[in-house]
Amino acid sequence: MNAIKFKNNRLFYIDQTALPVKEVWKECLRLEDGWSAIKKLEVRGAPLIGVFAAYCLYIWSKGPVSSGKDFMRRFARAVVYLRECRPTAVNLAWALKRVMLAVEANQDKPVTQLREIILNEAQAIHDEDVLLCARIGEYGNKLIKSGDNILTHCNAGFLATSGDGTALSVIYAAHAAGKKIHVFADETRPLLQGARLTAWELSRNNVPVTLICDNMAAVLMAKDKIDKIIVGADRITAAGDVANKIGTYSVAVNAAYHKIPFYVAAPFSTFDLTLKSGDEIPIEERAHDEVRTVLGKVTIAPKKVNAYNPSFDVTPAKLVTAIITDRGVVYPPFKQNIKKLIGQ
Ligand code: MRU
C-alpha cells in the first residue's frame, strides 16, 4: 500500500484526514494543492512530506514560464513556499534542497531539461525512501523478540513514508518473520494519528493491535505490559535529541522510570547535524481549535478558552536507548556514534 502515487505524469495522494472512515484519493494539480495537502496533514509524516514536496516541484514546473531566468526565479520561490509549510520535519527541507541542488547545477540547460531533472530527482528520492524503510525494518527486527508487546506513538508507518514506515517497518518486519508481537497504539491527541492511521494500518496488515488513550501508557508500563517502545522522528540533532509528535517526550520519561527500552527509528534524512541540541529545533504550533474540538467536528471546550497546541516535542538523547537507522543501530554515546554512522 502506498500513500502517494506518481502515475502517467500525475501526482495522487490518499487524503489521510479522511481515514479510517473513507479512502479518498486526490490529485495534486497545482503547487498550491500540494502546499495545502501538506499543511492540512492530508499528506503527512516526515519522510512522506519530503517525497511529496519533491513531486510538487515537478507539478509546478509543468506550468508556463517565459524564459530560463524566469523559471529559476519562480523555482526558488516555489522551494521556499513548500519548505515553510511545516517547519519541524527536516525531511521536507532536505528533499527540497536536494532537488534545488540538482536544478542549480544545470541552470543553463533548457527548461524542458530542467523539468526532467526535477522529476528524476523526485523519483530518486521516492525510490530511495522505499529502500531506507526496508533497511530500518531489517536492522530493527533484530531487536524484537517473539512475545514482545510494543508501544508506538503517532503514525510512523506506510502512511508516513514511501515504504513500510520507520517505527512500523520494524514491526512489519518482525511480524513477517513470524514473531508473535502485539502493538499498543497511543491514540495521539489532538489529531489522533495513532487511532485513525496506525490502528488502521496495523489491523489492515493483520498485526495484533490495541488502541489506548495517551494517558493509559504509564499504567500499562507499571503493569509490565510493555516490553519495548518504538517511535519515529521528525528531526534528530547531532547530540541525538529527537523531535517527534507531541506526547513522545512523556512516553520516553515514563519508559525511563519503568526501565523499558525506548527506540527511535529514522532514516539518515531525518538527522540534522547542523543542530547541536534539541532546543534549536523549530516546533510547529497549530490552531487552537485542534485542541478545543475533536477533529474540528465536536466541540469539547468553551469556544474562547485559551489552548496550547505544539505539534511536536523534543525527547532528550539521554532518554533514548538507541536509534534504528537505515545504516545500522546507533547506541550512546550518540554524539560520537551519530557522527560515525551518519557523518556530515
Ligand atoms: O504531524 P504529523 O502527523 O506529520 O507527525 C508525524 C510524526 O510525528 C511521525 O511520528 C514522524 O513524522 C515519523 S514518520 C516516519
Ligand 1 center to 180 CA (angstroms): 26
Phi, psi of 142 (to 5 degrees): -65, -20
Q: What distance lies between CA 274 and its chain's CA centroid? A: 19
Mean pLDDT rounded to a whole number for the chain: 98
User: What residue spans of the chain are helical by DSSP H?
Assistant: 31-39, 46-61, 68-83, 90-104, 111-141, 167-176, 193, 199-204, 217-222, 248-257, 289-292, 334-342
* Whether residue 234 lies in the annotated active site: yes
Q: What percent of the chain has pLDDT over 90?
A: 99
Q: Are 133 and 167 in contact (CB under 8 A)?
A: no
Q: Which residue out of 244, 250, 263 has the highest number of ligand 1 atoms within 8 Å of its CB and is therefore the one to mutate?
A: 244
CA pair distance 263, 169, nearest whole angstrom: 13
Phi, psi of 266 (to 5 degrees): -160, 145
pLDDT digits (tens, 9 = 90+) for 188-214: 999 999 999 999 999 999 999 999 999
pLDDT digits (tens, 9 = 90+) for 41-55: 999 999 999 999 999
Ligand 1 pocket, CB under 6 A:
41, 44-47, 89, 154, 156, 160-161, 165-166, 193, 232-234, 244-245, 311
DSSP character at residue 205? T
pLDDT digits (tens, 9 = 90+) for 277-318: 999 999 999 999 999 999 999 999 999 999 999 999 999 999
Ligand 1 center to 294 CA (angstroms): 19
Count the neighbouring beta carbons within 10 Å of the beta carbon of residue 25: 11
User: Is the pLDDT reported for residue 1 higher than 90?
Assistant: no
- In this prediction, residue 169 carries a pLDDT of 98
CA proximity to 265, closest of 314, 315, 235, 230: 230
Q: From the candidates 148, 234, 241, 313, which is the catalytic residue?
A: 234
- In this prediction, residue 168 carries a pLDDT of 98
CA pair distance 204, 329, nearest whole angstrom: 28
pLDDT digits (tens, 9 = 90+) for 231-259: 999 999 999 999 999 999 999 999 999 99
Q: What is the pTM of this model?
A: 0.97
Q: Which residue out of 152, 155, 235 has the highest number of ligand 1 atoms within 8 Å of its CB and is therefore the one to mutate?
A: 155
Average pLDDT over residues 51-60: 98
Residue 273 makes CB contacts below 8 A (sequence gap 6+) with 237, 238, 338, 339, 342, 343, 344
| pLDDT interval class at 344 (50, 70, 90) | low
Q: Are 102 and 118 in contact (CB under 8 A)?
A: yes
Average pLDDT over residues 154-166: 98
pLDDT digits (tens, 9 = 90+) for 5-40: 999 999 999 999 999 999 999 999 999 999 999 999
DSSP character at residue 198? I
Pairing state of beta strands 328-330 and 322-325?
Answer: antiparallel
Which atom of ligand 1 is found nearest the CA of 153? 10
| pLDDT interval class at 228 (50, 70, 90) | very high
Cell of 196: 485513525
> CA 238 → CA 106, 201, 280, 329, distances in Å?
32, 32, 11, 15
User: Is the pLDDT reported for residue 327 higher than 60?
Assistant: yes
User: Is the pLDDT reported for residue 130 higher than 60?
Assistant: yes
